[in-house]
A and B are shown apart, each in its own frame.
Chain A
Amino acid sequence: MNRRHLGKVLGGHFGLLLAASVLAGTNATFIPSVAFGAETPREGGVLIYGRGGDSVSLDPAKETDGESLNVCDNIFDTLVQFKLGTTEIEPGLAESWSVTPDGTSYTFKLRPNVKFHDGTPLDADAVIFSLMRQHDAKHEAYGYAKAWNYWNDMGMNTLVKAMTKVDANTVKIELARPEAPFLANMAMQFASIVSPTAVRKFKEDFAKNPVGTGPFKFVSWTKGERIVLDANKEFWGQKPKLARVIFRSIPDSSARLNAFLAKEIHMMNQPTPDQVATIKQRRPDASVMDAPGMNVAYLAFNVQKKPFDNAKVRQALNTAVNKDAIIKGIYSGMGMAAVNPIPPSLWGYNTSVKQYAYSIERSKQLLKEAGFPNGFKTTLYYMPVSRPYMPDGKKVAEAIQADLKKIGVEVSLSTYEWGTYLDKTKNGEHEMALLGWSGDNGDPDNFLHVLLSGENTKPPAANIAFYNNTRVTDILRQAKTVSEQSKRASLYQEAQTIIHKDAPWIPIAHSRVAMPMDKRVNGYVMTPNETRRFNTVWLAK
């Protein structure tokens, strides 16, 4: 009955209030600000977010898919968090933290007086409970998930040595080795702090009854249809303006488009590039936000094989590929040409590195200097599947093939079933191969160290260029141990300069993520790591 009453307030009452104030406005000189829409953030309203699938579960430590994590973004908080719209770290549930000079011990001071949605106070025990349930096989809640995927994927299981409660509001985490990106890991969803009371109460079913400290609290979940979250008025940070957020699942992309065109949803997740064009044309009252995704698509030369051991050859090929045409024709404009191995949304991106300008003459010149005036023959592997960073590997390969033909390089294309493909490239069977990477934690280390450090060239290698520049490897290792971000940033910038000159890749593109939304939606911020948090959003009348 109570909830039904709340619904009434949400559904009907605001309309009445508005009507009343508009009526009042016609009489007196006072004109209510809502009549103008955009100026003052409006309190209340129901935001409907249309997306491509239902959540698997709502325990952020269990799941790795966006549809699960994006709901969790609103229910939970982490100790440290990404400053909205960036990959910089700012205080979250921990109002401050300190690192020992050797970089192996982190002490987090918790924000006082924060409560979970169920009233449980946030304290050191809750933090340790949330993290240890993923780490310690003997923990009472360890068995509630079949696998704590991200904790293991990010190497936390070997990195974390011990977790201790210093006092009720202080937690110390000791690491097995210095690892600067640890802090960024703690800002990822899997490190969310959950209510221990609720986990003990619901056990495995906590994933269906999530309780956190975030700006919205869980109300209901109709499987396959929608998830409803209501504002948490006691939220410690920027208090939500919306009264309610509904996550609607509409898996078919054309159905989602129709729902958006028929104004049934305020925001539409994952439109295709062509749908964005349709929306712009058919719904002039909607806006389409877009932001570069935290990813990169690249062509890796196998630098251990001739003629790609020659940097001049690699530079020549870099100069010969018309990236803009690929972006326009294959990404339908929903991407940007890549210059560096990391996307520009990451801190530490080197803006002074300049693109190898597309020029057939210059390319031929370079080839000649390298000793291949008549070009050569080679092969290019392309991915058999569509990935977020590259919608169609085959078409990209065909475009590159055509480009390289102009400088006399004959490319034959080949592909394998996806699993085999990853296997073959990791073992260096290719001469040139297309691949890409989607970032996890917004730390440049997660791109540069993983993909281009000499430490990762042993098969099965993540560095499929088998690029092994000792200077770069040193810099990347050093950047892991320094904890000061500005110092790390300059190290990464230096690495990018060297990598650009050595050209082990042709960085192809960073795909863009688009978000069409109703004009009434205000204050939404797109984030590089594709979180969806709605506490800054308000809905105009």
Chain B
Amino acid sequence: MLHSVNARSPWVRTWTEIRGNKLAFLSFGIVVATALIAVFAPWLAPHSPEAMQLVEGRLLPPFFMEGGNTSHVLGTDATGRDVLSRLIYGSRVSLCIGIVPVFFGCLIGIPVGLAAGYLGGKVDEALMRVTDILLAFPSILLALIIVAFLGQGIFNLMIAVGLASAPAFARIVRSAVLSERNREYVASAESLGSATPRIVWRHIFPNITSSLIVLFTINFASALLEAAGLSFLGLGVKPPTAEWGAMLADGKNYFYDGWWMIVFPGIAIFLVVMSLNILGDSLRDALDPRAAKR
């Protein structure tokens, strides 16, 4: 019975789910639009993201406020850089910083978790102890240390955040495997003499996809937020690179006289992260066989 539901490709069901759910469709649109903005940034941005105007043009408000103008639609920052252009260019770095580490984390974490959970025994013990080492470092601390020792930069940041997200994948996958393993259908498959990789692939993997998607979503969100946090601490991307988190950090001193420096990048992060989360939830509904049945 379970298998009959699984017969349709998860991707077809994903698309159907997105099409059928207005909120998910909207979120999907936002994510795709942001990606497109990132790709076409040079054609979309009205100004260079790094061009300053020191004497005239610092802290210009958005166009709809007194003193603002339509050349700088969302105003300018403390050194007279165009906020809209920085937002547009910032989407490149911010999206990369969010997604690359999570893929990296998946690539390491999933095999480890599957192996540990399924093989059990000594292998499990050893893998989980190594996972403990990584998990023992709160990811932001790991990132801080990597940045402290290797220096500031996007690449180091992504390694750090990615490495930090791997153990969470491993653990969740392992715990899911442990619960699944004990179910009758796996036990029966085992007793029927199926090969281990086949059991993992056919019986266990499909059943933990939902957990993985939820986790992927959460990690994408936290990676984005973590990058913002590191920028806030002055350890993220190097200035003058435009990145949403770094823009927020720049703006924190201007909460009162330059709210647009905080509000717009904040909204950008919030929107993208929120959309990804909504999307993830919807996908979960679509791909989780049991939830989908109801």
Contacts and interface: CB of A to CB of B under 8 A. Distances in A.
Let me know if chains A and B touch directly in the complex, using CB atoms closer than 8 Å. Answer: yes
Given A254-B255, A257-B253, A261-B256, 20 more contacts: A253-B253, A254-B252, A258-B255, A274-B59, A274-B78, A274-B254, A274-B257, A275-B253, A278-B254, A278-B256, A278-B257, A281-B256, A281-B257, A282-B256, A325-B55, A328-B55, A329-B58, A330-B54, A395-B52, A395-B79
Contact of A272 (B58, B79, B253, B256): B253
Interface in B123-177: none
Dominant SS among interface residues on chain A: helix
A399 interface: yes
Shortest 5 CB-CB contacts between residues of A and residues of B: A329-B54, A329-B55, A254-B252, A278-B256, A254-B253
Contact of B54 (A258, A282, A395): A395
Contacts of A168: none
Nearest to A322: B55
Contacts of A274: 59, 78, 253-254, 257
Interface of A: 253-254, 257-258, 261, 272, 274-275, 277-278, 281-282, 325, 328-330, 395, 399
10 contacts: A257-B253, A274-B78, A274-B253, A277-B257, A325-B55, A328-B55, A329-B54, A329-B58, A395-B79, A399-B54
Residue among B79, B253, B254 facing the most chain A CB atoms (10 A cut-off): B253
Interface of B: 52, 54-55, 58-59, 78-79, 252-257
B198 to A, nearest CB: 55
Nearest to B255: A254
Nearest to A258: B255
Contacts of B257: 274, 277-278, 281
Nearest to A256: B253
Nearest to B80: A329
A277 B258 CA distance: 12
A328 B55 CA distance: 7
Nearest to B58: A329
Contacts of B58: 329
B263 to A, nearest CB: 15
Nearest to B78: A274
Contacts of A399: 54
Dominant SS among interface residues on chain B: loop
Contacts of A254: 252-253, 255
A254 B58 CA distance: 19
Contacts of A281: 256-257
A271 to B, nearest CB: 9
Contacts of B254: 274, 278
Nearest to B53: A329
A140 B89 CA distance: 62
A413 B54 CA distance: 18
Nearest to A257: B253
Contacts of A395: 52, 54, 79
Contacts of A330: 54
Nearest to B256: A278
A328 B58 CA distance: 11
B45 to A, nearest CB: 22
Nearest to A273: B78
Contacts of B255: 254, 258
A127 to B, nearest CB: 44
Nearest to B56: A329
Contacts of A282: 256
A87 B192 CA distance: 93
A277 B255 CA distance: 12
Nearest to B258: A274
A276 to B, nearest CB: 11
Nearest to B252: A254
A328 B252 CA distance: 22
Contacts of B54: 329-330, 395, 399
A217 B256 CA distance: 38
A280 to B, nearest CB: 10
B75 to A, nearest CB: 15
A463 B217 CA distance: 59
B175 to A, nearest CB: 38
B29 to A, nearest CB: 35
A337 to B, nearest CB: 15
Residue among B58, B78, B256 facing the most chain A CB atoms (10 A cut-off): B256
A254 B255 CA distance: 9
Contacts of A272: 253
A498 B293 CA distance: 92
A386 to B, nearest CB: 11
A363 to B, nearest CB: 20
A278 B79 CA distance: 16
B242 to A, nearest CB: 17
Residue among A257, A274, A275 facing the most chain B CB atoms (10 A cut-off): A274
Contacts of B252: 254
B200 to A, nearest CB: 49
Contacts of B256: 261, 278, 281-282
Contacts of B55: 325, 328-329
Contacts of A253: 253
Nearest to B251: A254
A325 B56 CA distance: 11
A258 B252 CA distance: 11
Contacts of A329: 54-55, 58
A281 B58 CA distance: 17
A249 to B, nearest CB: 17
A257 B256 CA distance: 10
Residue among A261, A278, A281, A282 facing the most chain B CB atoms (10 A cut-off): A278
